[in-house]
Amino acid sequence: MTAATWQQLYASELQAVWAQWLVPAVFLAFVGRRELPAGGVAPRAARFLRAYAIVFALETMLDPFAGGPLLRWLGLEGGAAPTNVMVFFVLLGDFRVFLLALVLAAPASDGRLRASEVGAACGWTLIVPIIAVAGEAIVRATIQSPPAQSIWIVYEIAFMAMALVWRHAIVPGRVPPERDGVRAYLRAVWGYVAIYYALWATADLLIIAGLDAGWALRLVPNQLYYAWYVPFIYWRFFSPRYAATSSSTHAAR
């Protein structure tokens, strides 16, 4: 493909919107036709996980649609509206991971959505944006003409680091060894999140270096974030591997 092709493909509505819809749409059709699976990492939280998956599958479909075709149809594609919509959905996309982790890491792990966990998820969600704004200020103070992607590179690297901290320190600290199924599951989730943020950061660095391959690479984390996150967390939750561990631990208690 020519140098211009990957960037043009990336900017196209086919890639930016409709390519992100296929997997969530199939997932929703699949979940809607099946009964709630038995077991799971935390059986008492299974109903929460199913509701969570449905809500955020719909959210990941709304995200690219609202920031693209919807704004265009409403005549709002200019001005601050696109940026505001984008920032809102970026924060919501990070919030979903903190919410899942905090609900399942709670000692009861009964799947009840408590105000304290929602509030804590909101608080955790704001940490990386604050770091990104501060980091961007430092970049602008030290580089005369920083690239347009600089704030997003800071954000992506910071969230990758946040995901690794959760995976290697916070999850083991919050989830005791006797709940090893939940611990393994949440570590897998945070590892998945770290991967798509690492790929985004790498892609943006390639783009800054003038390599069109960065736009091609960006297609991968987009799919991981929009299309595959919800199926991943759902099927992992009900995976026989984790369910067996969780069930044996539950029975022992």
pLDDT tens, position by position, 76-109: 777 777 888 889 999 999 999 999 999 999 987 6
Q: What is the DSSP string of 217-251?
A: HHHHHHIIIIISHHHHHHHHHT-HHHHHHHHHHHH
Q: What is the DSSP string of 2-61?
A: -HHHHHHHHHSHHHHTGGGTHHHHHHHHHHHTSPPPS--SSGGGHHHHHHHHHHHHHHHH
The gap from C-alpha 1 to its chain's centroid, in whole angstroms, comes to 30
> Model-level pTM?
0.89
Reported as a pLDDT band with limits 50, 70 and 90, residue 4 is: low
Q: So what's the pLDDT on residue 157?
A: 96
In the numeric block, which tokens belong to residue 55?
Answer: 């809500």
The gap from C-alpha 49 to its chain's centroid, in whole angstroms, comes to 15
> What percentage of residues in the chain have a pLDDT greater than 70?
93
Residue 118 CB partners (closer than 8 Å, separation 6+) = 99
In the numeric block, which tokens belong to residue 111?
Answer: 């799947």
Q: So what's the pLDDT on residue 127?
A: 97
Say yes or no to pLDDT of 18 above 60.
yes
Q: So what's the pLDDT on residue 182?
A: 93
Per-position b or e across 211-248, b if 16+ CB within 10 A of its CB = ebebbbbbbebbbbbbbbbbbebbebbbbeebbebbbe
Residue 249 CB partners (closer than 8 Å, separation 6+) = 178, 179, 180, 181
Q: So what's the pLDDT on residue 81?
A: 79
Look up residue 110 and give its amino acid: D
Q: What is the mean pLDDT of residues 204-229?
A: 94
What radius of gyration, in Å, describes the C-alpha atoms of the chain?
Answer: 19
Residue 235 CB partners (closer than 8 Å, separation 6+) = none
Say yes or no to pLDDT of 38 above 80.
no
Is the Cα torsion angle 100, 106, 110, 112 positive or negative in sign? negative
In the numeric block, which tokens belong to residue 186?
Answer: 């949440």
